[in-house]
Chains A and B, each alone.
Chain A
Amino acid sequence: MARGGGFNSTSHGEKILRYALLLVVLAITIGPFLWQLSTSLKGLGEDVYTRTPSFLPDQPTLSNYGEVARTIPVLSYAMNSLIVAAVVVAGNAIGATLAGFALAKLRFRGGRLVLGLFLATLVLPSEVTIISQYVTVRSLGLADTLLGVALPGAIGMLNVLLMRTAFQAIPADVDAAAIMDGANAWQRLIHIGLPSVRGMLSVVAIFSFIGAWDDFLWPLIVLTDPDKYTLTVGLQYLNSTFSSNPRLIAAGTMIAFLPIVAVFAALQRFFFKGVEEGAIKG
């Protein structure tokens, strides 16, 4: 993206205009989160309904967070979400990498058929099969379990195809040289494949985590026992059952939101790098 000077050297006026617009968009995208954060920090003595809203709490307090923990078992909900996310991330990192490598770099009987089937699933939105999916999970004896929530997404078909694309980018002569040196498939995967698909692998891992942590409809369907709820289902439960106090709901949403933001902020450079490598295409 290196660009020459001259035409591109931004004028002073344009710079100010750009930053002004950036700040407007920033206010729109981040403002609602800040308002929620602010509400979650306001004590019971402060009127959250005031018509002249104050973004800064008078006396910031964490008491609402304690109140959430007393109302719903929010820590164990977070733990449940984490368990589901961990299974999904591990499954995708391993399963999609192995299959993606085989489909990109190894020729084998039936390979094209398998690839075609993976591609065909792309036109099948998961929502369409979600009810039969539940029937399947129940017949495996996994209804109302965290494993039942995690398992169907543990190898995403799209992730297999993304990893295949990444492995395909490895030049053929590098592979040919390795084969000449007598490397077998596993050695090629570990020594040549993995180091060059790290960008895509991190995108797959980040999105698997975010997808599992944020998912709502599927855990809502699978889980019936309130003790096993994941954080999103627990939040909806909190909202529909104890919705009289907006401070409480606000604190609950922050408990679900802040970890994912932390994860994303920590890993965003891998994400944007992966995007540049073409992970996001649609």
Chain B
Amino acid sequence: MQFRFMTPWLLVLPAVGWLLVFNIWPALNTVVLAFTNAKPLGGGHFVGLDNFTRMLDDSQLADALVNSIVYMVICLPLLTIAPLLIAVLVEKKLPGITFFRTAFYTPVVASAVVVALIWGWLLADRGLVNGLAQQLHVISGPLPFLTDRWLLLISAVSLTVWKGLGYYMIIYLSALGNVSHELHEAAAVDGAGPVRRFLAVTIPGVRRSMLLVSILISVSALRVFSELYVLSGGTGGPGGRDTSMVMLIQMYSRGFSGHLGYASALSLVLFVVTIGPMLLLLWINRKAD
């Protein structure tokens, strides 16, 4: 009898251990470290709000914030709309549709590093995109996709959108299953064409999923690291220069160049920036259940 009361706790014990050691403890520790001048090898003492006041004068951080926001703002509409259109395209169960669905999902399962290296080769000065564009006389010389600050950001956006298409397509696909079929039929009877039905029936039907997707995009855009890190040649700055492109790269480079405390303070800022969309997400999920 006594054993029976123990069983549930035995079952959750490993997961609770992981929760404490790898989630709650690091979270608390981040908060503590943010108010110290700790170095990677330990030590450090309380410095109050120093790390936070330092941020105000940090021009690299300002750049990274601007980049993160621009990146997010461009990704958001593209990744909210394009996967929905693709989901509508693969919804109808035509012969071979499973192949297309799987193929469209492939960029999602590829590592960000793999994808960034492929993109780097496509967009290199002598790569396919520049080569083709010059061949067709669209441009006279190669465009510096990977070395110009803004072009690099645009290149990263194109990579993110391409890699995300399949992921959000799947979310929309499961939402489309719930869109009332009768409404579509009624609209068709009333003479509404495919575009009209898409706007008047499909979009309202997946409204909540669109909101969900746009929140997911915002949060993941703020967390981008690998794509930009690899695309820019391992420093996070355009053309391999040592300026950090986005918030997370900034945090990484500070943390491992000896400023653990400052990096932890940056982590807190990142958390504050992402918590809004995350809470909204949870709230929507709650309402959905």
Contact = CB atoms under 8 A, between A and B. Distances in A.
B278 interface: yes
B238 interface: no
A interface: dominant SS: helix
A64 interface: no
Contacts of A95: 14-15, 18
Given A214-B112, A249-B121, A25 B15 contact: no
B131 A25 contact: no
A39 B117 CA distance: 12
Q: Which 6 A-B pairs have the closest CB atoms?
A: A99-B15, A214-B111, A108-B8, A132-B26, A102-B11, A129-B26
A19 B114 contact: no
Interface stretch (B46-54, B55-63, B99-107, B199-207): B99-107
Interface in A131-186: 131-136, 151-152, 154-155, 157, 160, 184-186
B258 interface: no
A29 B165 contact: yes
A28 B110 contact: no
Given A152-B22, A280-B174, A281-B285, A35 B122 contact: yes
Contacts of B155: none
Nearest to A81: B111
A216 B274 CA distance: 21
Given A98-B12, A118-B19, A135-B29, 20 more contacts: A29-B104, A32-B118, A32-B122, A33-B106, A51-B134, A99-B11, A121-B23, A123-B279, A127-B270, A128-B30, A132-B25, A132-B267, A151-B22, A235-B113, A239-B234, A252-B117, A256-B114, A260-B111, A268-B102, A282-B285
B174 A276 contact: yes
Contact of B93 (A1, A49, A151, A236): A1
Interface string A219-254: 001000000000010011001100000100110110
Interface string B1-18: 000110111011011101
Given A22-B89, A282-B216, A136 B22 contact: yes
B114 A253 contact: yes
A135 B26 contact: yes
A282 B212 contact: yes
Contacts of A110: 9
A132 B8 contact: no
Give the interface residue-count category, chain B. Answer: 35 or more
B89 A155 contact: no
B94 interface: yes
Nearest to A23: B100
A213 interface: yes
B30 A129 contact: yes
B138 interface: no
Contacts of B162: 28-29, 32
Interface string B105-137: 111011111100111111010101001101100
Nearest to B263: A131
